[in-house]
Structure 1
């Protein structure tokens, strides 16, 4: 059981550099990349070297450290002004994951307290490490809250990857699954492959197999048949942004799962830290949906699977209305049958201000 808690850590700071586990080449290759400058970090986020809203936030925080180092060496006492372009480039790397903006704002608040006459790096590095540690702690708390909602011998389905690879460690949705397995409540996990980037087959399946959690990989289109068989208890997923009424943006295909689950009487659990909640927007229609490269749909590993010049739509996310969600699990507690009123109660209970600042970047 102890081994199950010693999960993958995809983000490391050592030797004054940021190190990221390259998730584009998993599961066949475990390759660590070192980053010395903030622009490379922004590009890594954009190209999905690192992905998952919490992991993106932590990575961006370290990116600010590198940017501040560059600004100090290039501009001296004018480092704060010189830092602004790098912050904007980091903020533009992924538009949907609100944790990105939250982390940059928190780092910027630290910048505002520092003298222009001394290097900002030590204080910013301390803040980035704090954000990193807080994420792991929050994941473990959410894991227990979510596991407590499960009955014994539950069979669950998860979509995309919301595990240790998507966070600083342990995971959100997979954190619940890990803890549920430890507590004897998870009998089996079904993993959607998650087209088109295959995070389920490449990442989630790999994580679960690393830790001996019983699982079965399936094509996304098999979910309805699985539910019709009457053997599924929960759909457990993460989130990239949650509106103030509980509408949730997650990997494309999540909305379809929620509709199927509602019809078949399967419960839906969304697991995410409060930093994923964007209190500035009223509902999911205001969440920006990232459109990614056409080649992700028309090709697999560089090999064409569709006619040349075919028109492609590739939204990275969709929005699940709060009415289709049975529980939103955060480190501050569980919101059952989420609504605007219940989400506002959660907001009152938060220890830290987590208002979205995406409109300021």
Structure 2
């Protein structure tokens, strides 16, 4: 799938730069047209001639090297790129990229490109875990940069821990899968809920929560891209509707319950990502409530527990996925919820953590099944989290079909 694709490979100044030669070679063997940019620090570890021999293209180092007067080099390269990989990406590079510094050919090209960018960090374990580095990673992830996380193991500095560059084969596989449209969910009907509900007090006031719907919409978008038939029951959200998704707009918890209940029997997989109000005002005033002296007391009553209803009415072949947005005891609360509500999978996260929860473009989640923790994911874009959820949900759905046939 990389045949004819132009991939820009940026190499920065770390000991793992020697692995970039294998990445370059592997991409060329897959049919890619590889254009290499070396930072000046990278020259201390590996020479341009190595990459020129492997890529059969000129290797760029100097921002002001303008061989073709008809174009501006970094703009032409930025426009030509179908994808950019930075491997290794040092702590210094991450800081410059996060704050928009463009002081060399690589950082200048990154600012000018519209292509997807894959970052492969490599550094000392203590540098990797430093709050400044983690913050810079979070900033870049929030802008849509893709990260191929560092491995754990023995590092060149003598320490053992996280910070080793991912293996070239792993990096190439991630890039190749990005350009390979998966259709592994064809024939599967998926029902997704997203966003917050609004519980009216009067014609001008309502109670709601901080959910923006980003996680649920990411699930719907990823599912439709992988060939599923998708119905999205959505509370009010300022997000574009993914192409091909059947959307049922709702406002209140009761409206969401009615919509979900009417569609649940048709679904093979239900992913309940919405943040539904647990309580609603006992009385909805027909006219605007006027301000009075003193305090105001409102009585609230419980809304219907949609997830519990789905768990109680779940068909044997159906897969039910819930979310647990917590601020403490995340895993224990999620395990309690998965058992009480008869879920197949629960997505748990601590919404008080930076880079996780409501309103962000990233999330940090733990996938939990009935037996226990399935996977603790690092900070990823919500689209990447959505794909991981869908992969596990589809796996469980196929297992149920196999058991039924047997």
Structure with greater strand percent: 2
Larger Rg, first or second structure (1 or 2): 2
TM-score where L is the length of structure 1 = 0.32
- Which structure has more relative contact order (CA 8 Å, sep 6+)? It is 1
Write 1 or 2 for the structure with the bigger share of helix.
1
